[in-house]
Structure 1
């Protein structure tokens, strides 16, 4: 592969992957803390921990939703999506 034609990741893709990585790691940490609080019979902290998981999932859904909207807008040509154009043999117009 030629080094001058190397494909770079966009900033939005890096942000989406970063949010997914943070969400995944924080979710596992919070689930471990939930398990630890149940094991130590300190269940008073469970509502706060589960709220933290919900907030992380909501932030991830927001970021990914906007990333996919951006991706959809970029993959259109003449008002139709790339997949529709490719399935109708419009490849030479793209």
Structure 2
């Protein structure tokens, strides 16, 4: 072993990936239902099905906005981005 610790996946990362996976699977299922409705000449269901896709996309946008906001907040120190702080860090400032 090289002494490295395994990086734990955060709960917010798991939630974001789960929402993306749920969105993808559900969108494909709804598109398949749309295809079936068109083949069976039952176009009355299409507005409801497309609304479902839009609602899922909205939930995904909200979750990802919150996730990236949290990520941005975690990668700052003193109001500046972590990478910029590392580039301008002096030898006496080791608390970063």
Task: Provide TM-score, normalisation by structure 1.
Answer: 0.87
Q: Aligned with 1:52: secondary structure?
A: helix
Alpha-carbon distance in structure 2 between the residues aligned to 1:64 and 1:12: 10
Structure label with greater radius of gyration = 2
Aligned to 1:30: 30
Task: Provide TM-score, normalisation by structure 2.
Answer: 0.85
Alignment of 1:1-94 (within 5 A): 5-86=5-86, 88-90=87-89, 93=93, 94=96
Aligned-residue CA RMSD in angstroms?
A: 2.0
Task: Give the length in aligned residue pairs.
Answer: 93
Alpha-carbon distance in structure 2 between the residues aligned to 1:2 and 1:18: 32
Change (3 A) 1:27 1:79: same
Change (3 A) 1:18 1:3: farther
1:25-49 Cα shifts (integer Å, max 9, x gaps): 0000001111111111100000000
Kept in 2, the 8 Å contact 1:85–1:91? The answer is: no
